[in-house]
Chains A and B, each alone.
Chain A
Amino acid sequence: MATLTRRRLFGLAAAGAGGLSVAAVAPTGAASAADAGSGADFVSGDLNLHLLRRATFGPTPSLKSAVKKQGRSQWLNNQLSPASIDDSSCERLIRDRFPRVNWSIPQARDELEPFSWNLMNDLSIATIARATWSKRQLFEVMCEFWSNHLNVTNPSDRVWDNRQDYDRRVIRKHALGRFEDMLIGSATHPAMLLYLNNADSTKENPNENYGRELLELHTVSVDGGYSEQDMRNSTLIMTGFGVNWRKGTFNYFGRDHYRGPVSVMGFSHPNPNADGYSMGIKYLKYLANHPSTAHHIAEKLCERFVSDQPDPALVDRLATTYLARGTAIAPVLRQLFNSAEFAGSVGEKTRRPLEDLVATLRVLDVRPDREGRQGMQALVWISDSLGQQPLAWSPPDGYPDVALSWQSAGGTLARWNTHLSLAAHWWPKELRKSPSRDLLPRRLPKTHGAMVDALAKRLVFRTLAPPHKQAILSFLGRSASDPLDSDSEAVRGRLDSVVALILDSPYHWVR
C-alpha cells in the first residue's frame, strides 16, 4: 500500500528535470487515498496517550506519568472539576501579564481609548498562554470549543470593550457547566448582540442575523427542522435584547420589542406586551433543551474528540445524556471519553494549526517570557501565519474542525517552519527553552538509530516505524548502527532539524 504513495511523493518532491514539473500536484495526495495508511499507524495505541492527545492541547512526559499514576478515570474526573486542580502558576501569569482580560465592560470603557484593539489583543495572547500552560487542560480545550460554537470574532470592530467579558462571564464561566446557562449568557451579552446585530434589531426593522444563527449555529442546527417562518419568529422573539449604548452593557428595550403571538418549532407564546424578556429567556431554555440541539452539540463534541465522521450511535447516546442531565456538559464528556467508540478512534483525528503550535510548545517545554510578553505576543502572530489565530475566525460558524478544511500548502509550510524555529529557539527568543540536547537522555544513546528512537519517544511517545526512522537517518547521512558521540553532527548542528522533522511528520500531526 505504501509503495504508490511513497513513489508519488518522491516524484513530487524531487524538483524534476525539464521545466516546472510540479503542475497538477493537488490530486496526487488524493490519488493515493485508496491506498493511504491509517492514522493509527502513526500514534501510540496506548489509551492513556490517546486520551491525552484528545482531551488536552498535547501530551507531555509529566502528564503521561500523571495519568499513569492517577488512572484515566481519576485523571478525567479531576479535569472535569477544574477548580480542584491547582493552576496558580498559570493564573498568576495571566494576572501579572494580562490583567486587563479581567476587566469589566465599564472599566474597559473608562481606561481604553474608544475602539482600541489593545484589550482584544491581550485576550488573544492570554488564550494561547492558557492553552499552553494551564493545568486545567480539558477546561481550556472546552473553552476553545465553545468559543467557536458561540463565535464572536476577536478582534473585531464592535467588541473592543466587551470581548474579554464575554470570554470570562459566558464562555469560561459555563464551559463545563450547563449549555442552557451559556446560551442565555451569550444571548444577554453585548458582544454577541453586537456581533450578530441583535442590538440593531427592532420591531420596526428586525435584523435576522442573530435570530437565524441562534437556530442554525447555536442550537438546533441547519437540519434541525425549522422553517423560514420559524426563523422570522425567532428574530421577533429576540427583539428588545440590546445594548445600552452609553454604558456598553446589556439592556432590554421594551420599546423595540415586537408584540403579538409567536411560535418557533413548537415553542409558542401570546407575547401580548412589551415585556418580552422573560419570554425570550423561556425561548432560549426551550431551544437549549430541544432534541435537535442535543443532537447538534453531541455531534460537534464527537467531531471534536472522536472522529471527523462521528458514529451516529454514539451521538444518540450522548444526546440522550445531554437532555437527561439538563444540558450539563461534564456528564456528556465523561460518557464520551468512556465510550467504546472513543477507545476505537485512535489516530482518526488530526491537529489543526493552533493545536499543532500549542502541542509543540508543550512537548518542547517552552516556557513564558521571563518578564513582559514579547515572546507570547509573537505566538499570536505565529498562530495567524499558520491560519488559526485563536478566537479570530470571522464568520459566525467558528473554525472548522475536520481535517479536510486544513489542507493548505501555505499553512503546512508555516507549520514545518515553525517547528524548526521553536526547536532551534530562533524565534521567539524571549520565550524560555532548554537546548534540544536536553530532549535526549543525559547519557547519549550509543548509535544513531538508538538516538532517533530516543528522540521520537520523547517527542511523539513512540518509536518511528522503519521507513520513517530511515528517512531521518538518511537526512543525517548515517545508518542505524553508526556510533554516536557528543561530537556527532546528529547531536550538534543537526539536532534541532531532526526534532523539527519528527514534529513535521504524521506522528505529531495525527491527534
Chain B
Amino acid sequence: MTTDTEECGCPDYAMSRRAFLGRLGTVGALAGLTSAGLSTQMAFAAEPYSGDVLVVLSLRGGFDGLNSIVPTGDPRYAEVRPSIRIPQGALVPLDPMFGLHPAMAPLMPWWNSGDFAAVQAVGMANQTRSHFEAMEEMERAAPGSSLRTGWLDRTLGLREIGSAFQAVQMGSSMAASAFRGPSPELAMRSVDDFDLSGAWDANERRRWSDALTGLHDGAPTAVAAPAATTLGALAGAAEMQDAEYSSDARYPTTDLGRALRDVARVIKSDVGLQVAAVDYGDWDMHADMGTVASGWLRDKLGELASSLAAFATDLGAKFGDVTVVTLTEFGRSLVENGSGGVDHGHGQAVLLLGGGVDGGKVHGTWPTLEQDALAGGDLAGTTDYRQILAEILEKRCQGSQMSSVFPDLTSDRLGVVRARG
C-alpha cells in the first residue's frame, strides 16, 4: 500500500495540540497537572517547527566542571585541590582565567571556529546536594511553583504536534523527567533496537503491522492513538534501519558514542526531530578521580569530547541547525576530600556546541573561589541554568512564552547563542 496523499491534505494533519487535547475530551482529567501546567498546554504556536534540533546531554552523577573548564587563574584553585588539580602547564589555554582539560582537546577545532563554548558558575535555585532531588528539580525547572511537568514537555507543549520523532530520548528505554507530562516523546535504546521482536524481516514486519493495524480498527482513541503513533514510529525506524547508516565520523564504541551517532542518524534522516535527550552517567567521583594523565575523570572527559567531536563532524551541513547543551544536577565540591575525589557541590559548568553557539568563549560571571563568595562552601552559581536554556529556545528554537516554560525566570540572558538566521 502506498502512502495516501490524502493524508497530507487532511486539515487534521496539522491539528493543534489544543484541538488534539480538546478532541480527546479529557483535558480536565490530565493527571498531575495544576492549572498553571494546563495553561501551558492550552497555548500553542501557529506554525510548524523550523528551529534548531536541541540536543540535551545530561551528565548524570555530578560533572566536575572545576577540573574540566579549569579556573587556573583563580589563586585558590590549586590550594583547595592539592592532589587532584590539573596543572596549569597541562591545560589547553582558553582565556586568562580558564584552561581546558587536555582530554577535551578533540573539541578545540570547534572552539577555534567559534562553535564550542562553556558557561562557568551555573547554578539553580534549589541548592540541594542530593542527586535525586537535584535532578528532579533541574528537569522540572520551575522552582517555587507547583508544576509537575518537565521543561522539555512544556517546551513541546507550545508547539504543533509533529512527527513521532519530534522528541526522542536516545540510548534509554525511559525518558528523562524533563519530558514528564502530556507531550509525547519517543524513548529508544537505539534506532536498530526499535522493532517488533516477532518480525525478523520486512515481510514479517508488514505482516505484524497489518495485524496490529487491523486489531485496532474502531478502537477508542486512548488505545488507537498510541497504537497509531507506535506503528508510525516503527515504520520510520524500519526505513532508517533499511537505509542503514554509514559515517566517516569516528565515534567511540561506547553507549554515548552509539547514542550520539543515532541522534545524528535521525537528524540526517529528516524525520522531524526537534529535541533529543541523551544521558551520560557515571560522574559521581567521590574517590580516585585520577590524575591529568590517567584515570576516571580523564577517561570520561576523553569519551565525552571525542563523542561530541564525532557528532559535530558527522552532522556535516546540519551542524548549523543543531545546538547541544550539557547539564548536570550539580557541580562537585570545591575542596578535594581524603579519597582523591570530590563530593557533591553546587555551581556547575555547562558546555555548548552547535552552529549557532557564540563559541570560543567561557561565558558567565566568575564569582571567584574566595571563601565569602562560595555557596555552602562550594562554587556559587552566578547564572541560573534556565537562562541558558531559555536563550537557546528563544534564539534557536522559535521559543516564546518563556514564562510558561520557566515560570518566574528573569529576562537576563548571557548571549551564549546567536539568533537563527
A-to-B contact residues, CB < 8 Å: 1-2, 5-34, 36-39, 41-42, 153, 156-158, 212, 216, 222, 303, 308-309, 347, 350, 384-385, 387, 394-395, 397, 400-414, 416-417, 420-421, 465, 467-468, 470-472, 474-475, 497, 500-501, 504-506, 509-510
Contacts and interface: CB of A to CB of B under 8 A. Distances in A.
Given A22-B271, A412-B230, A417-B197, A467 B221 contact: no
B191 interface: no
Given A30-B23, A470-B214, A409 B223 contact: no
A15 B238 contact: yes
15 contacts: A6-B217, A11-B7, A13-B235, A14-B209, A20-B236, A20-B270, A25-B164, A25-B231, A26-B20, A33-B23, A34-B23, A394-B132, A407-B222, A468-B215, A500-B198
Given A32-B224, A400-B31, A42 B219 contact: yes
Contacts of A1: 218
A30 B15 contact: yes
Given A24-B161, A27-B161, A8 B228 contact: yes
B192 interface: no
B246 interface: no
A404 B30 CA distance: 7
Nearest to B32: A397
Contacts of A29: 221, 224-229
Interface stretch (B109-117, B180-188, B356-364): B180-188
B32 A408 contact: no
A464 to B, nearest CB: 8
Chain B interface size range: 35 or more
Contact of B230 (A18, A33, A406, A409): A409
B219 A10 contact: no
A157 B131 contact: yes
B34 A222 contact: yes
B214 A27 contact: no
Interface string B191-214: 000101110000001111111111
A7 B5 CA distance: 12
B228 A12 contact: yes
A505 B216 contact: yes
Interface stretch (B53-61, B169-177, B345-353): B169-177
A26 B20 CA distance: 9
A184 B333 CA distance: 39
B136 interface: yes
A192 to B, nearest CB: 15
A471 B31 contact: no
Most buried by A among B184, B188, B225: B225
A468 B194 contact: no
B223 A509 contact: yes
A308 B136 CA distance: 27
B145 to A, nearest CB: 12
Contacts of B23: 30, 33-34
Given A12-B228, A157-B130, A468-B217, 10 more contacts: A13-B209, A17-B3, A20-B236, A28-B228, A33-B221, A407-B229, A411-B226, A412-B226, A505-B215, A509-B223
B233 A14 contact: no
B90 interface: no
Interface in B229-279: 229-236, 238-240, 269-272
Nearest to B187: A410
Given A11-B4, A157-B132, A412 B229 contact: yes
Contact of A12 (B25, B182, B231, B271): B231
B162 to A, nearest CB: 6
A9 B231 contact: yes
Contacts of B163: 22-26
B218 A5 contact: yes
A169 to B, nearest CB: 24
A69 B239 CA distance: 53
B239 A15 contact: yes
Contacts of B238: 15
Contacts of A504: 212, 215
Nearest to A21: B3
Contact of A2 (B209, B217, B221): B217
Most buried by B among A8, A16, A20, A401: A20
B275 to A, nearest CB: 14
Nearest to A421: B197
Given A1-B218, A23-B163, A409 B211 contact: no
A162 to B, nearest CB: 16
Most buried by A among B19, B23, B207, B226: B226
Contact of B194 (A12, A34, A39, A413): A413
B60 to A, nearest CB: 14
Nearest to A307: B29
A493 B76 CA distance: 70
Contact of B31 (A6, A41, A405, A506): A405
B224 A397 contact: no
B30 A475 contact: no
A227 to B, nearest CB: 14
B31 A475 contact: no
B223 A39 contact: yes
Interface string B4-38: 10010010111100011101111011111011000
Contact of A9 (B169, B194, B224): B224
Given A26-B166, A400-B32, A408 B187 contact: yes
B50 interface: no
Contacts of A387: 174
Contacts of B235: 12-16, 21-22
Most buried by B among A5, A413, A416, A509: A413
Contacts of A394: 132, 136, 177
Contact of A408 (B148, B184, B215, B240): B184
Interface in B80-108: none
B240 to A, nearest CB: 8
B294 interface: no
A36 B218 contact: yes
Contacts of B15: 27, 30-31
Contacts of B162: 23-24, 26
B2 interface: yes
A384 B44 CA distance: 32
Nearest to A38: B220
B220 A16 contact: no
B146 interface: yes
